[in-house]
Amino acid sequence: MKGLWLENQQLQFREDIPTPQPPEGEALVKVLSAGICNTDLELIRGYYPYTGILGHEFVGIVEQGADELVNKRVVGEINAACGYCRFCKTGQPTHCENRSVLGIVNRNGAFADYLCLPVKNIYPIPDNVSTASATFTEPIAAALEIQQQIKISPNDQVLVVGDGKLGQLVAQTIALTGCELLVIGRHSEKLANLEARGIKTGFADAVKDRAFDISVECTGNSSGFDIARRALRARGTLVLKSTYAGKLHLDASSLVVDEITLIGSRCGSFPPALKLLAEEKVDVTPLIEASYPLEFGLAAFEKAQTKGVLKVLLEME
């Protein structure tokens, strides 16, 4: 089969990759569409020593697996858990000690004609959700994970730092809580997507220090972290939603003195994300910057790495 293969931080398009054969309990999925994520870009930069097919945001059709899933459009949660470690036994499979992660850790990903995932990871897509929109299920689930980790009330002052793909989805999902929300970024055209939904936006100079209860950092860079940290009042909560390829330097003493809660936030559950898409409570259409056929995957990655670009999709058919 065809696919985008990463090895030694070099990405290549290959046509000689063996088509996977699903082991017991897993499904074979023919990929229809997949989105390039910042994590994919960070893997190329060396964030984690991965070798294999990249990609974890996808929509596909089940060709082999559970009868109730065959021939259905599906999405899939990316962490394949063992089921028996201490995290699995306590209902925390995303932290399974023996997990593989689609396109990230010890499991070939979605930038190919086919992939395999455990049947328990797979969810049918509601009929009224388009394939392009459903490709955003994984990042929407990741955005919603914040609300599983902390309570956000209408009385909270919340800051989202970053107007990129993830920042936009985090902002849309947090806005549903009714909180006092401000989203800051560097691109007026991106912020306009949120303004059209009634979300208050601005640039860095709109942030008043020590004025927010919660800040969510979605840039993955040190300047974004600094803004998010300075914005918090004492006993505030700082949510880190991005991975960092380099080392992050911070003033640990100020975290202690202000009694700041620091939370890392990663993957989320798919059913709530699919529900939001089906109910049209989030709008991902403005986030699609471009689509490329898989054969032009290297060009797609060049586009995705261009400053200011939002979501780039790969179409397998």
* 273 within some domain: no
Give the CATH number, domain containing residue 236: 3.40.50.720
Indicate the angle between helix axes 137-149 and 165-175, nearest 10 degrees: 50
Q: Report how many helices (DSSP H) and strands (DSSP E) the chain contains, helices first.
A: 10, 18
Both 147 and 131 in one domain: the answer is no
Total structural domains within the chain: 2
Check residue 48 and give its pLDDT. 83
Distance CA 24, CA 27 (A): 8
Nearest to 255 by CA among 238, 270, 277: 238
Both 105 and 187 in one domain: the answer is no
Which structure tokens are listed for 31? 């990929």
Both 93 and 30 in one domain: the answer is yes
User: How buried is residue 136: exposed, middle or buried, by Cβ count under 10 Å (0-12/13-18/19+)?
Assistant: buried
pLDDT in tens, the chain (317 residues): 999 999 999 999 999 999 999 999 999 999 999 999 988 998 998 878 899 999 999 999 999 999 999 999 999 999 999 999 999 999 999 999 999 999 999 999 999 999 999 999 999 999 999 999 999 999 999 999 999 999 999 999 999 999 999 999 999 999 999 999 999 999 999 999 999 999 999 999 999 999 999 999 999 889 999 999 999 999 999 999 987 767 788 899 999 999 999 999 999 999 999 999 999 999 999 999 999 999 999 999 999 999 889 999 999 97
Distance CA 302, CA 288 (A): 15
* 279 within some domain: no
Both 148 and 129 in one domain: the answer is no
Distance CA 117, CA 125 (A): 16
Domain limits for position 168? 142-264
* 30 within some domain: yes
Both 174 and 146 in one domain: the answer is yes
Please give the model's pTM, rounded to 2 decimal places: 0.94
Both 96 and 189 in one domain: the answer is no
Both 117 and 67 in one domain: the answer is yes
Both 30 and 126 in one domain: the answer is yes
Give the CATH number, domain containing residue 61: 3.90.180.10
Both 92 and 176 in one domain: the answer is no
* 274 within some domain: no
Both 217 and 293 in one domain: the answer is no
Both 175 and 64 in one domain: the answer is no
Q: In what order do the strands lie in the sheet with 52-53?
A: 10-14, 3-7, 52-53
Both 128 and 157 in one domain: the answer is no
* 276 within some domain: no
Indicate the angle between helix axes 38-45 and 297-304, nearest 10 degrees: 100
